Structure 1
Amino acid sequence: MYRVFIVEDDGKIAAILKNKMEQYGYAAGTASDFRDLLTELESFGPQLVLLDINLPYFDGYYWCRQIRSRSNVPIIFISARAGEMDQVMAIENGGDDYITKPIQLELLMAKVRSVLRRTYGEYAITEGRDIGESPEGSMELSTGGLRLLMSRNELEWEGKRVELTKNEGLLAECLMRRPGHIVARETLLEALWDDVQFVDDNTLTVNVTRLRKKLEELGLTKAVETIRGQGYKLSLEGPKSGGAQ
């Protein structure tokens, strides 16, 4: 069961959101101490945070930065501020998505499901010491000796580690879930972007190229194969290091 922590100082709105989350089978908690949100967050251990911007003492941008200094737990901003710059600031301060008030609850739930699906996939989440993390500090996906530390966005191979961007981590997760199999470009696009209609196909190519470079830093050359006209395939069976570029 995913845990959703709601940071909203309007008690009525917080109650509506909590009730909606529980209707969909999520465990929901609401903030009560707006001076010390991190303590409540760490105690609850959420896999997703719904965060208002206008809060007592410190605004949502501040708390988003504080959370990001400790965790990669997904954050969806909920705010009456509908301006473009407010949404830009939310993303630049570490938010994953943004929805404006008055809240369309079904749209919110679609965003919640999308963010949880992209971040955690079908893997069960274990409550840990850090926000949204296991006791070892990460959700792990591994294949052929390659490990993806999902909550840290890191790849590990033979004792070496590299940090990934959010998109690189999502690409690695998709490919590692089906090692040796072709993953269609459309599948990868949908995993990275909710609305693929306006995404340039070259954007995916750029992100795959960046992931390849990270794998090469680990000594894994030619690990991501391009299957022309179909998609990409993760192959860890060939030469791993020192091979031709």
Structure 2
Amino acid sequence: MNKILIVEDDLKIAALLQTYMMKYDLKAWIADDFNQISDFFDRVQPDLVLMDINLPKFDGYYWCRKIRERSLCPIIFLSARDGEFDQVMALENGGDDYITKPFSYQVVIAKVRAQLRRAFGDFACNDREPEYRANGLIFYPLRLTICKEDHKAELTKNETKLLELIWRSAPAVATRDVLLEEIWDDSTFVDDNTLSVTVARLRKKLDLIGAAGAIRSIRGSGYRWMYQGEGS
């Protein structure tokens, strides 16, 4: 299920957008602190952002630029401004599309689904290297590396698979059965202790680059990605 972040200070519009997203099997979050949009983005890790322009303190252009520092996910602007200049500004600041208020919610859904197809579906460009980001932590699965500021850890192939599965599962738990099946070809002949040892090695590397506590054990189930940055 694709994840949508709604950055809209009109709570009625935001709630209606969220309702429509859910009808079309899209999971939507509404930003509730317009001073911390980047932090909210890092927690949710959305596949697409719906961004209003007129926001408290900083406008949508500013937050679009901040998101572009960490992600290439599609960003669709929503605004009552219907001038050509505003639409140009939206695209110049990193936006992918622009919808003028008042709008048809069906049109919004159609544009959201079109952007998701381009980014992740049949029309996606698969040459772009995948990466995961959270509060200064950057994970490059193809390079088998994870970095935080000037610190970098080299991962084994299985550690990389493990980290990606746990990170992608968040906020849900990545169960031990799924991890064993996905990482090792035939989990029937893999000692359960092998997973525990691999997790321990991965945790040690995360500790060394300043990401202690990023992976939490969930008793009787598996592991959950918990990293929120300093002070988490």
In the other structure, the counterpart of 2:38 is 38
In the other structure, the counterpart of 1:11 is 11
* Partner secondary structure for residue 73 of structure 1: coil
* Partner secondary structure for residue 40 of structure 1: helix
Q: d(CA) in 2 for partners of 1:66 and 1:115?
A: 20
Q: Which runs of 5+ in 2 are unaligned?
A: 125-129, 143-232
Deviation at 1:129, TM superposition (A): 4.3
In the other structure, the counterpart of 2:109 is 109
* Partner secondary structure for residue 94 of structure 2: coil
**Closer, same or farther in 2 for the Cα pair 1:137/1:9, shift >3 Å?**
farther
Q: d(CA) in 2 for partners of 1:53 and 1:38?
A: 15
- 2:133, 2:139 within 8 Å by CA — same for their partners in 1? no
* Partner secondary structure for residue 55 of structure 2: coil
Query: TM-score of the superposition, structure 1-length normalised?
Result: 0.51
Q: d(CA) in 2 for partners of 1:119 and 1:39?
A: 22
Q: Which amino acid aligns with 1:62?
A: Y
Q: d(CA) in 2 for partners of 1:136 and 1:130?
A: 6
**Once the two structures are aligned, what percentage of the paired residues are identical?**
53
**Closer, same or farther in 2 for the Cα pair 1:128/1:29, shift >3 Å?**
farther
Deviation at 1:136, TM superposition (A): 4.1
In the other structure, the counterpart of 1:96 is 96
In the other structure, the counterpart of 1:64 is 64
**Closer, same or farther in 2 for the Cα pair 1:137/1:27, shift >3 Å?**
farther
Q: d(CA) in 2 for partners of 1:85 and 1:14?
A: 25
Q: Which amino acid aligns with 2:86?
A: D
In the other structure, the counterpart of 1:189 is none
Which of 129, 133, 137 matches 1:130? 133
Matches within 5 A, 1:72-87: 72-87=72-87
Q: d(CA) in 1 for partners of 2:96 and 2:35?
A: 23
Runs of 4+ in 1 over 3 A off after TM superposition: 135-138
Deviation at 1:73, TM superposition (A): 1.0
Q: d(CA) in 1 for partners of 2:41 and 2:14?
A: 15
Q: Which runs of 5+ in 1 are unaligned?
A: 141-245
Q: d(CA) in 2 for partners of 1:107 and 1:80?
A: 15
Q: Does 1:29 align with 2:29?
A: yes
In the other structure, the counterpart of 1:52 is 52
- 1:22, 1:28 within 8 Å by CA — same for their partners in 2? yes
Aligned length: 133
Q: d(CA) in 2 for partners of 1:8 and 1:59?
A: 11
Q: d(CA) in 1 for partners of 2:17 and 2:131?
A: 24
* Partner secondary structure for residue 130 of structure 1: strand
Q: d(CA) in 2 for partners of 1:114 and 1:27?
A: 16
* Structure 1 vs Structure 2 CA RMSD: 2.1
Deviation at 1:119, TM superposition (A): 0.6
